[in-house]
A = this chain, B = another copy of it.
Amino acid sequence: MHSIKNVGLVGTGLMGAPMARNLLKTGFSVTVYSRTKSKAQAVLDAGATWVDSPCEVAARSQALISCVPDSPDVEAVYLADNGICAGIQPETVAIDMSTVSPETARKVDAAVRGKHAAFLDAPVSGGKTGAEAGTLAIMIGGDEDAFERAMPVLKAVGKTIVHCGPCGAGQLTKLCNQIICGLNLLAVSEAMVFAKKVGLDQKIMLKVVSSGAAASWAVENLASRMERRDFAPMFKIDHQQKDLKIALDTARSPGSVRLHDHDPLATPVPLPGTALVHQLLAANQAAGEGLEGTQALLKTLERLAQAG
């Protein structure tokens, strides 16, 4: 096994671009393709090489990362005529860091295996800041062997790097993450609107609750933005909704994504809280706030309470 020198990257958006820079910093040769070439410019200036299709990225890479918005994008990037599967070499490890459905991960995995290459579903948590700092949490599904081979590449972009199980396990773990994030967000939003209506100083309330059993990343990071009326996105409502839809769809028919042959065919998992968060965030989307940060859920609760 030769060590990996050439790494490809498909998708140089908010997450992909800083990843490319961290790969370059680590000493990899980096080849990139992105739907919008202008978004790749900063990465090209930093030393990456441009090619005109995902197919060509794959042809030049011993390992590659894809990072695109949604399931259809991942399918297009891998399965289209000039997609990754058309150019991928045997033994190459393709690492998909998009958050997509476990079914998409399975489908792409089968196609990549058909080319005698390996696929890892590897969604990340930590946002733009984590991507820039190279400290992303990466949750990985797929063969352990491919996981070990990909480790130098994973280490260049992430910090908490965890093999969660066979193909699909990365996406399923990310869904758990999003279920918790959604409800922690609702927790903070309800406390904030309650505090406002009863006349408490929100800042003082947050100071106390952040020191005890109510402490959370959401209290630390989202509530202070709510208090300042800062609804700029760290993570957009539209993206959270995409992820919660995948979670709720998967929960409705978990049998279709079971991880091990010996698992019983699972029946639906009711997720009443997650469903409620999804509905309330739909009210934000209805109000034209889909591109705002998830902390804008507060505004839906304020509208419900006539507390705007």
Contacts and interface: CB of A to CB of B under 8 A. Distances in A.
Interface of A: 125-127, 130, 137, 139, 160, 162-165, 169, 172-173, 175-184, 186-188, 190-191, 193-195, 197-201, 204-205, 207-209, 211-219, 221, 235, 247, 250-251, 254, 257-260, 263, 266-274, 276-277, 280, 301, 304-307
Most central of A212, A213, A258 by chain B CB within 10 Å: A213
Nearest to A168: B198
A184 B216 contact: yes
Contacts of A208: 125, 137, 139, 160, 162, 164, 173, 177
Copies in the complex: 2
A306 B177 CA distance: 22
Overall SS of chain A's interface: helix
A201 to B, nearest CB: 7
Contacts of A259: 198-200
Contact of A197 (B180, B191, B193, B254): B254
B194 A260 contact: no
A139 B214 CA distance: 13
A125 B200 contact: no
Contact of A211 (B160, B188, B194, B267): B160
Nearest to A220: B215
A198 B257 contact: yes
A41 to B, nearest CB: 29
A185 to B, nearest CB: 9
